[in-house]
Amino acid sequence: MAIPAPEIRPEAKPYWDALAEGRFQIQECKDCNNRFYYARPFCPSCMSRNVAWLPISGNGTIYSFSLVRQKGAIASAPVFVALDDGPTILSALVDCDYDKLAIGQRVKLKLMPSDNGPPIPFFTPA
Ligand SMILES: [Zn+2]
């Protein structure tokens, strides 16, 4: 499966650069301690621009998921993952038994190569 390379906006370049080095990071507001994802130049909670990058584990729990079928076969499994270290983020599940997925299940980050770009963050059962 060839995953298209992401379009990298300037505010998200540190995020993609870290993924290229195998590190997963989100942003944290230094004024109100809010942790957020996706990358923004300001805190979505208090609008402060005093934000910093925070390396995190990439471990989390399935908050919700769906199975997307094409011609009867499961084509993808979009998921909301509640990260241990912060926000709930949208991604997709890979390398898993679709029949055994459950809300509350533990998952971990799984980086997948993109087409001439940085790796893309997915999740797989822990
Ligand atoms: Zn804030």
pLDDT per position as a tens digit, 80-94: 999 999 999 999 999
Together in a domain, 28 and 63: no
User: Does 51 lie in the same domain as 65?
Assistant: no
All residues with CB under 5 Å from ion ligand 1: 29, 31-32, 34, 43, 45-46, 48
CATH code for position 82 = 2.40.50
Question: Is there a contact between 124 and 94 (Cβ–Cβ < 8 Å)?
Answer: yes
Range with the poorest average pLDDT among 15-19, 23-27, 70-74 = 70-74
Alpha-carbon separation of residue 41 from 28, 88, 113 (angstroms): 11, 19, 26
> Which residues form the domain of 43?
9-56
Average pLDDT, the chain: 96
Query: What is the 46 CA–ligand 1 centroid distance (Å)?
Result: 4
Ligand 1 centre to CA of 29 (Å) is 5
Q: Do residues 88 and 124 share a domain?
A: yes
Supply the pLDDT for residue 2: 80
Q: What is the pLDDT of residues 109-118, one digit of tens each?
A: 999 999 999 9
Based on the domain organization, do 126 and 69 belong to the same domain? yes
**pTM higher than 0.85:** yes
> Is 103 a domain residue?
yes
At 71-82, the pLDDT tens digits run 989 989 999 999
Q: Going by DSSP bridges, is the β-strand pair 106-115/3-4 parallel, antiparallel, or unpaired?
A: parallel
Total domain count, the chain = 2
Q: Residue length, the chain?
A: 126
